[in-house]
Amino acid sequence: MSNQRIRIGVIGAGDVTRLYLPDLGGHEDLEVVAVGDRNPDRAEECADRYGILRHGDVASVLEARDVDLVLNLTSPASHLAITRAALEHGKHVFSEKPLGTDLDEARAVLAVAERAGLVIGCAPDAHLWNGFQDALRLLRDGAVGEAVFARCQAVLAGPESWHPRPQFLYAHGGGPLLDIGPYYLTAMIVALGPVSRVRAVGTAKSPTRTIGSGPLAGTEFPVEVPSLTTAILEFASGIAGTVLLTFDSASHRGGGLEILGTRGTLRTPDPNLHEGPSAVMAAGSTEWRDVPLGSSGAGRPGGLVNLARHLRGLEPLRVGSDLAFHVLETMLAIDQAASRGRSVEVHSRCHSPEPLPAGWDAGLLATAVPSER
């Protein structure tokens, strides 16, 4: 397959397409050949916006003979069902985060892929971005000594102010834990290895939220999951960490992953963004020193490119299902720990991908179609 571009069929034509499709035109490793959605009109609109030749319903993509890989951009509660359907139609999958919302179902879907000899890749891919790659190299090279503690946070006002249909983000499979949690927990696990145990607290500030934009503006809807989750993580290596994820803030205050070491502190860019350098605070200092951005790395959708190149036999997979499964188990363990008021063990383990080789580039070329913000 190394001489052929990977042909991609997109399932799900919602808001998240703007993070993937604008920069894939003319890519040497992949091409988008079709888009499908349970609402065919939305698929047609997406196809027109991004110059995709074919559009239709979900089945039209699953049954297409010229689709090698399904890009699963459906809502989180549908991720595993669509991934399984794609595998059963003989197609590889790259799924938007999270891998799913049910651990047993996720385990069964991974078994389907293994039996069929197919590959699942999964977002997020923040660990492939330039600034985070710089941080990984510094950490591996001992720039801050031995890591002893890590922390990160995402303090947000909530997506209902800008998202036209935010209800699913406050339903089962949503909340800050499963919506933005994958960015921060993936970053921590890639940097520090797998998690072995968690403790947590989850709260909801309000039982309802109100949509602030779009055709449903002014509509009130229920909050079914915690809108704030904070957790203590025990890593298998013995390192401890904390994470705070909330939609309850009056203002946005994101933040990078901070890793405290025996000879200093390392700060990565915000894993939910794809810009900015890492920084180091040396032992005895009170000032951060920015690290010049290296040449290896990518923004969205670098993980999709990595999977396509892996399928072409060109490079190892760095966004694999073992990592996504471990992140999912960690998040669900945090949810259980918060609801049960006790610590919960995380049983799976995963491989933490090595830093990208010098000069690695995702080859993303901006198209004439702008990304809407």
CATH number at residue 290: 3.30.360.10
Task: For residues 34 and 145, state if they share a domain.
Answer: no
Task: For residues 117 and 154, state if they share a domain.
Answer: no
Report the Cα–Cα distance between both ends of the chain, in Å, rounded: 36
Task: For residues 143 and 278, state if they share a domain.
Answer: yes
CATH number at residue 24: 3.40.50.720
Task: For residues 17 and 113, state if they share a domain.
Answer: yes
Task: For residues 287 and 155, state if they share a domain.
Answer: yes
Confidence of residue 167 (pLDDT cuts 50, 70, 90): very high
Higher pLDDT, 276 or 242: 242
CA distance 131 to 187: 12
Task: For residues 74 and 145, state if they share a domain.
Answer: no
Mean pLDDT for the stretch of residues 327-344: 98
pLDDT digit string, tens, across residues 268-315: 999 988 778 999 999 999 999 999 887 677 777 899 999 999 999 999
Task: For residues 121 and 170, state if they share a domain.
Answer: no
Count of H helices and E strands in the chain?
A: 9, 17
Q: Classify residue 360: in a domain, yes or no.
A: no
Task: For residues 32 and 16, state if they share a domain.
Answer: yes
Give the count of domains, the chain: 2
From 369, 364, 217, select the one nearest 299 (Cα to Cα): 364
Q: Classify residue 359: in a domain, yes or no.
A: no
Indicate the DSSP class of residue 141.
Answer: T
Q: Classify residue 367: in a domain, yes or no.
A: no
CA distance 373 to 363: 22
Indicate the SS3 state at residue 159: helix
Whether 294 and 137 have beta carbons less than 8 Å apart is answered as: yes
Q: Which residues make beta-bridge pairs with 242?
A: 151, 232
Confidence of residue 2 (pLDDT cuts 50, 70, 90): low
What does the block give as tokens for 5?
């571009």
From 82, 75, 353, 312, select the one nearest 191 (Cα to Cα): 353
Radius of gyration of the chain (CA): 20
Q: Classify residue 208: in a domain, yes or no.
A: yes
Task: For residues 222 and 308, state if they share a domain.
Answer: no
Task: For residues 184 and 310, state if they share a domain.
Answer: no
φ/ψ (deg, to 5) at 307: -65, -45
Task: For residues 263 and 282, state if they share a domain.
Answer: yes
Task: For residues 168 and 288, state if they share a domain.
Answer: yes
Q: Classify residue 356: in a domain, yes or no.
A: no
Neighbours of 117 (CB within 10 A): 8
Spatial strand order of the sheet with 30-36 comes to 54-56, 30-36, 6-11, 69-72, 92-95, 120-122
pLDDT digit string, tens, across residues 94-141: 999 999 999 999 999 999 999 999 999 999 999 999 899 999 999 999
Q: Classify residue 148: in a domain, yes or no.
A: yes
From 223, 233, 366, 359, select the one nearest 296 (Cα to Cα): 359
Mean pLDDT for the stretch of residues 234-248: 97
* Identity of the residue numbered 328: L
Q: Classify residue 145: in a domain, yes or no.
A: yes
Higher pLDDT, 84 or 361: 84
Q: What is the pTM of this model?
A: 0.94
pLDDT digit string, tens, across residues 30-83: 999 999 999 999 999 999 999 999 999 999 999 999 999 999 999 999 999 999
Domain that holds residue 121: 6-125+300-319
CA distance 262 to 281: 12
Q: Classify residue 362: in a domain, yes or no.
A: no
Does 229 have pLDDT greater than 60?
A: yes
Does 373 have pLDDT greater than 50?
A: no
Burial class (CB in 10 A: 0-12, 13-18, 19+), 58: buried
Whether 269 and 131 have beta carbons less than 8 Å apart is answered as: yes
